[in-house]
C-alpha cells in the first residue's frame, strides 16, 4: 500500500495514539498483576517499553517512575523501592538491583516560586 507523505504522517500519529493508550492499559494491568506476581508486572513493563520504542514515543513521566531504569522491574514504593528527597531531586532506590534513579524537580520548584511571587497571600 502506498501513502502520500501527509497521509502516512497521519497514520503514524494515529498509531502512536493507539500505542499510548495501550501503554496506559499495560501499566494499569501491571499494577494489578504486581499483587499476584511481580514477575508478571516486570514482563508487562518490558512490553510497554517495547511498544514505546517501536512507535518512537516517549513514555509519559508518570510511567517513567514506575519501573527501574537498570533492571526494568516494576517498582512499587516501599515494596521494592525506596523513595527519598534529596536537594532538588527525587531519588528512587531499586531493591532488586540496588541502583539509584534520580529525578530532578527543579521545574516544579520554580513554578511554585513564581506562583508565590504572583500572589503572595494565597500561599
Ligand atoms: Zn532495578
Q: How confident is the model at residue 68 (pLDDT cuts 50, 70, 90)?
A: very high
Residue 16 alpha carbon to ligand 1 centre in Å: 28
Specify the pTM: 0.80
Is residue 67's pLDDT more than 60? Answer: yes
Q: What is the pLDDT of residue 116?
A: 87
User: What distance in angstroms lies between residue 74's CA and the mean position of ligand 1's atoms?
Assistant: 9
Task: Work out the number of other CB atoms within 10 angstroms of the CB of residue 116.
Answer: 12
pLDDT the model gives residue 81: 95
Name 77's Cβ contacts closer than 8 Å, sequence gap at least 6.
Answer: 83
> Separation of 71 CA from ligand 1 center, angstroms?
4
93 alpha carbon to ligand 1 midpoint, in Å? 8
For residue 11, what pLDDT is reported? 92
pLDDT band at 5 (very low <50, low <70, confident <90, very high): confident
Distance 18 CA to ligand 1 centre (A): 28
> What pLDDT does residue 3 have?
59
pLDDT tops 70 at residue 1: no
Amino acid at each position: 500500500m502506498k501513502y502520500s507523505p501527509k497521509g502516512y504522517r497521519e497514520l503514524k500519529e494515529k498509531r502512536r495514539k493507539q500505542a499510548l493508550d495501550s501503554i496506559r492499559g499495560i501499566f494499569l494491568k501491571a499494577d494489578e498483576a504486581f499483587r499476584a506476581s511481580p514477575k508478571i508486572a516486570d514482563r508487562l513493563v518490558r512490553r510497554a517499553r517495547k511498544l514505546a520504542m517501536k512507535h518512537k514515543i516517549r513514555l509519559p513521566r508518570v510511567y517513567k517512575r514506575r519501573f527501574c531504569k537498570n533492571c526494568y522491574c516494576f517498582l512499587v514504593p516501599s515494596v521494592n523501592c525506596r523513595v527519598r528527597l534529596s536537594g532538588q531531586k527525587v531519588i528512587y532506590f531499586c531493591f532488586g538491583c540496588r541502583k539509584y534513579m534520580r529525578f530532578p524537580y527543579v521545574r516544579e520548584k520554580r513554578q511554585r516560586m513564581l506562583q508565590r511571587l504572583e500572589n503572595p497571600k494565597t500561599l
